[in-house]
Chains A and B, each alone.
Chain A
Amino acid sequence: MKYIDEFNDPALARRLLDDIHATATRPWAMMEVCGGQTHSIIRHGIDQLLPEGIELIHGPGCPVCVTPLEMIDKALEIASRPGVIFCSFGDMLRVPGTDRDLFQVKSTGGDVRVVYSPLDALRIAQQNPDRQVVFFGIGFETTAPANAMTVHQARRRGIGNFSLLVSHVRVPPAIEAIMQSPDCRVQAFLAAGHVCSVMGTAEYPELAARHRVPIVVTGFEPLDILEGIRRTVRQLECGEHRVENAYPRAVQDGGNRAALRMLEEVFTVTDRAWRGIGTIPASGWRLSDAYRDHDAEHRFDVGGLTTRESSLCRSGEVLQGLIKPHQCEAFGTTCTPRTPLGATMVSSEGACAAYFLYRRLDATAPRPEEATPVG
């Protein structure tokens, strides 16, 4: 237990761990959905503090990683057009498209700008009425309300030169898809706290009951994650499959009602392709028909692009928890944050990046139980 002194409350961490060790009698595999949780787990070595056989499987919860290649290529195409100001969050800059990234588009003359918030992109549109300003709207349920409100404001304030390239994804259908996969080893979920801050927990009881999996809403701090694991193990040991909220200081069961109303108004649920995973039914949002003229895909003709994925990259398997990053042959050799083959190495929330950052020395030496699938 080499890392435990680094916890902000080592005594509490010790109590939670002792409880997990005392409760666990069998191997269990649980998935932390959110990439932020993955980073916290790997940095603090939480997976190494758990009893033998309790395995954390890293989930698809990184919006940068799951944005489909086709959408990246569309973004690159739009950003290269004269007269366009293309705005994006900074972590999209180096996500590889078929043959380049946004960073390269900028260095070859494209007007690509990094913004902190979609509202910044709206301000740029207001200041540049003779240009087309496009914002790359990616993200899970946490980001979607911001983009919904921004489009809503563009409409209300008559800012016609603003549009959104939408690639939003939703967590519950991804959980469904993971559970339906024939290779699925996941027996419980640590749900992403911030997603639930917006959406609440209403979507989960049905999933938990149908697949007989505990779902515990969990935060990001090491102690939150330990508490999430503790409750999950308790349920698994008792054969229960309930939804529990272990992050009540940021999550109310009903979510954020104002945000939910805005999502309902601006977006429509749609099938969405996930990079490396494929299309998941009803797993995304697009702009609703009433907002179609603010849809960049409608405004710019970007259909018919040919995409080509790296044949080496196994990020689809990483995102579904089927392999750990260091089990990919390219990991740390041909694929590094400097020369990323896949988005899971580029994004700071990606699992490959987490392994590269915090485990580079022992990356080739997985724990024995990782080599033998549990369950």
Chain B
Amino acid sequence: MCLAVPGRVVAIEERDGTRMAQVDFGGVVKDVCLAYLPEIETGDYAIVHVGFALQRLDEESARSTLELFEQLGVLEEEFGDAWGRAAAEAGVAAAPEEDR
């Protein structure tokens, strides 16, 4: 969870008085809070950490970082099935996941 992952802002809306975005991380789309990067627009790239956009990034850097994080398994760790992974590591059957 420690590395911030770059993504592309695909939509922006106001929710509960907070500017929120849908951000695409190489195929996985997540809700992201824009409170710390209010000037960002749809189509921009930003580095996002645990649901918060932290800095704007250019497209090329975003793409190459995403590629590296894919290789390092960061994307799987950030967005994949944590229970399944923990179960596999522990050598037991996966517990069911209620909140996805």
| Residues in chain A within 8 A of chain B (CB atoms) | 8, 34-36, 39-40, 43, 61-64, 89-91, 93-94, 103, 106-107, 113-120, 124, 139-140, 142-143, 145-146, 149, 153, 156-157, 194, 197-198, 219-222, 249-252, 256, 258-259, 262, 337-338, 348-349
Contacts and interface: CB of A to CB of B under 8 A. Distances in A.
7 contacts: A90-B1, A146-B51, A149-B35, A256-B37, A256-B55, A258-B35, A258-B37
Interface of B: 1-4, 16-18, 30-33, 35-38, 47, 49-52, 54-55, 57-58, 61, 64-65, 67-69, 71-74, 77-79, 82-83, 85-87, 89-92, 95, 97-99
Contacts of A259: 36, 52, 54
B52 A94 contact: no
A91 B4 contact: no
A348 B86 CA distance: 12
Contacts, number: 153
Contacts of B91: 338
Given A117-B52, A197-B47, A36 B3 contact: yes
A110 B98 CA distance: 13
B83 A220 contact: no
A115 B78 CA distance: 10
A118 B90 CA distance: 26
Contact of A146 (B52, B65, B68, B72): B52
A203 B82 CA distance: 35
Contacts of A94: 86, 89-90
A139 B2 contact: yes
Given A258-B35, A338-B89, A116 B78 contact: yes
A146 B50 contact: yes
Contacts of A221: 64-65, 68
A218 to B, nearest CB: 13
A8 B18 CA distance: 38
Given A93-B86, A120-B99, 13 more contacts: A43-B71, A62-B2, A107-B92, A114-B97, A116-B79, A117-B33, A146-B49, A194-B4, A220-B65, A249-B61, A250-B55, A256-B36, A338-B90
